[in-house]
Amino acid sequence: MSKRIGFIFMFAVIITAIGFANGQSEGPQETKAVLDEISEFDGRQQEPSAAAAGVTEFSEAPMLAELVAAGKLPSLEDRIPSDPVIVFPVNRIGEYGGSVSRQGGGGEWRMFNHEPLTRWCRDFTDEIPNIVESWEFNSDATECTYYLKKGIRWSDGEPYTANDFMFYWNDMVLDDLISITPSSYMRSADGQLMTVTMIDDYTIHFEFGEPKPLFNRYMTRGSRGSAIMSMPSHYLKQFHPRFTPGANANELIDRHLSAFEYTDMPVLTAWVTKIYEPGQRIVAERNPYYWKVDPQGRQLPYIDTIVSDISNSESEIDLLRVINGDVDLNLRPNFGNLNDIPVLRENAEKKDYRVIEYSRGDIGKGLIIPKYANKDPMIRDMLFNQKFRQGISHAINRERVRQVVLKGFGKVQNFALPGIGPQFSSPEGREFAEEWPKAFTEYDIDLANNLLDEAGYVDLNGNGWRQYPDGSQIDLMIDVQQSSGGDTEAMAELVKQDWEAVGLMTSLNVIAGTLWAARSENADPVFSMREDGSASGLIIAEGHWVPSLYEAWTLAPLAGLWYQTNGERGFDPRGTFLDDINRNYTQAIISADEDQRNKLALEAAKIHVDEGPILLTLVGGIPAFSAAKNNIKNIPNEASVGSWHLSFPGAINPEQFYLEK
């Protein structure tokens, strides 16, 4: 018997109750600006039926009403669904009009302005309907049926139907002229792609080669997830060589990945690009066909125009733009240079903006990734030696890093997931989540030396440095990814000093991101180090703690490649803790039994302590600092900005932001 899951009413879980305290600073405290509104909506966020909420009459923004009156735009009833999606504002009903300037690159704009098939609720605890109005799984989660919202239109007025998803699947993923690579969750463990069938204009059926109980949650992930699987087929066929002989497939792929760069590209988002100046700015205006309304039936968005500065700049320039009043909104990117924060706070009242502290959802600052697949067998043996890893962890003076580099913000922490995932919901899970960040963080030189001795790495020739058992010199090469504010480099220098204090010769190789990524993927150094990372739950950047992906930032890229290619390429992790983690995790994500799924995921996480430390970090709990002019309302004061899979700030409904006059 299948179970129909239709979310007609969705109530939020208050963020503070789920542990976002992980993102609070323990460093210097100053009064944080807060909004003075009180929410009128009891935590309600977004629901698929305005009629079910008692809203049956609708109105539009003055600028659109003028176009309708002039005969330049169809009436509102011909532009939106008869029963549109309803969005409940964070605090109160907004006012129409105005323009907001923001800063951040094209990727950040995509995350601000996107519409996935299913989406996160604002506290990121669950997925909720969006373009998909409801869904239905069979009993073992090997099949799922999507029911699309009827009446949605593209920004050029054409209807949105299942044909637009099928164009993505049949004519981009499966078509060998295009061959877009589908997301990994669309395959089973043996590499088999899911089967997609269009039942009718508003119904899509998926069949999987294995249970996929988390399919909906995967579909919420990121602005490059299902947000780019809805393709305006009526427009894009002109760029597809199978439909238009001689067409350049690259034109199709560019529009698929970067719709915001094309002013003629129909979209489903709240704002539509009107001006795109590469490397300079994007000017986007309200979408007349946007399919969401507020609780009074007023078509969203409230704000007429968003102007995005997409020029690449250093953090100091971003700071000056906010302080000088050149930018109204800086939600993402955040102010990552902690030296900027006192200045940002000091000018807030005078310049009429507020500083908002969000959770990073982070796994810690100063992420050090041992390259377990290094081609040198002596390096591999050393990195897989648990006492060696424990020794180098206890040798690090994390409190010194916190004070010297991170200005007293945060707290000493080793690598750990934030304790907000479902695997930490049981008493056992909560206890483990509390202890995990503390594991192997005690700064103890004597303990570190003893552990390294027991690991078999001692000074054999009396030169003051430890050697491999064969007498050759150990040199712990750390590839350090350059950071905009220099924090990563500074943290790496202190780690080098600490490791050398226990007789481990250490070299730093500070390199730019592209080269760093290539060397990390290939396991060329002994360690790769980057500023930080964010992950949570089962499917949010799981590559940070599960060796399942072949990407530079992940736990073990070459092991991920081995899994992805069924052992044809990469590093064979069998017989190691990497395989133990992956086996538990893989069993967890295909389990249709939620309790069993969470138990298996917790067992996978526990391996990070039982066999740990497997990864190292230095400090955690540092907020992500954002800024907004005081007259921009309905911005929540609590949220998580990481990982990119959460697509903050799009997940907090920017369409309900408004300018108070």
Angle between helical axes of 445-455 and 386-394 (0-180°, round to 10):
160
The residue ranking higher by pLDDT, 628 or 190, is 628
Q: What is the pLDDT of residue 335?
A: 76
How far apart are alpha carbons 464 and 445 in whole angstroms?
16
Count the Cβ atoms, other than its own, within 10 Å of residue 3. 9
Q: Which of 20-24, 128-132, 478-482 has the lowest mean pLDDT?
A: 20-24
Q: What is the pLDDT of residue 10?
A: 33
**pLDDT higher than threshold 60 for residue 83:** yes
pLDDT in tens, 582-597: 999 999 999 999 999 9
Q: What is the pLDDT of residue 3?
A: 40
- Structural Rg of the chain based on CA atoms: 26
Q: What is the pLDDT of residue 239?
A: 96
pLDDT in tens, 594-624: 999 999 999 999 999 999 999 999 999 998 8
Average pLDDT (638-653) is 85
**pLDDT higher than threshold 70 for residue 31:** no
Q: What is the pLDDT of residue 470?
A: 96
Q: How far is CA 638 from CA 338, 356, 361, in A?
A: 20, 8, 12
Count the Cβ atoms, other than its own, within 10 Å of residue 565. 12
**pLDDT higher than threshold 70 for residue 17:** no
Cβ atoms of 624 and 360 closer than 8 Å:
yes
Average pLDDT (19-35) is 33
> Which residue in 268, 154, 134 sits closest to 204, CA to CA?
134
Average pLDDT (52-59) is 94
Runs of H (alpha helix) within 180-288 = 215-219, 233-236, 249-257
List all residues 6 or more positions away from 530 whose beta carbon is below 8 Å from its beta carbon. Answer: 367, 369, 481, 483, 488, 516, 553
**pLDDT higher than threshold 70 for residue 271:** yes
| Structure-block tokens of residue 57 | 């009459």
Q: What is the pLDDT of residue 26?
A: 36
pLDDT-derived band of residue 9, with 50, 70 and 90 as boundaries?
A: very low
pLDDT in tens, 214-226: 999 889 877 778 8
**pLDDT higher than threshold 60 for residue 353:** yes
653: left (phi over 0), alpha (psi -120 to 50) or beta: left
Q: What is the pLDDT of residue 23?
A: 32
**pLDDT higher than threshold 60 for residue 5:** no
List all residues 6 or more positions away from 345 whose beta carbon is below 8 Å from its beta carbon. Answer: 30, 355
Average pLDDT (169-181) is 91
236 φ/ψ angles, rounded to the nearest 5 degrees: -75, -15
> Which residue in 516, 166, 234 sits closest to 369, CA to CA?
516
Q: What is the pLDDT of residue 315?
A: 64
pLDDT-derived band of residue 314, with 50, 70 and 90 as boundaries?
A: low
Average pLDDT, the chain: 90
How far apart are alpha carbons 146 and 81 in whole angstroms?
18
pLDDT in tens, 483-524: 877 899 999 999 999 999 999 999 999 999 999 999 999 999
Q: What is the pLDDT of residue 13?
A: 29
Q: What is the pLDDT of residue 313?
A: 61
The residue ranking higher by pLDDT, 382 or 42, is 382
121: left (phi over 0), alpha (psi -120 to 50) or beta: beta
pLDDT-derived band of residue 319, with 50, 70 and 90 as boundaries?
A: confident
Q: Which of 61-75, 82-96, 175-189, 389-403 has the lowest mean pLDDT?
A: 175-189
**pLDDT higher than threshold 90 for residue 566:** no
Q: What is the pLDDT of residue 339?
A: 82
pLDDT in tens, 406-464: 999 999 999 999 888 889 989 999 999 999 999 999 999 999 999 999 999 999 999 99
How far apart are alpha carbons 552 and 159 in whole angstroms?
40
pLDDT-derived band of residue 22, with 50, 70 and 90 as boundaries?
A: very low
pLDDT-derived band of residue 32, with 50, 70 and 90 as boundaries?
A: very low
pLDDT in tens, 121-157: 887 778 899 999 999 999 999 999 999 999 999 999 9
**pLDDT higher than threshold 60 for residue 36:** no
Q: What is the pLDDT of residue 127?
A: 87
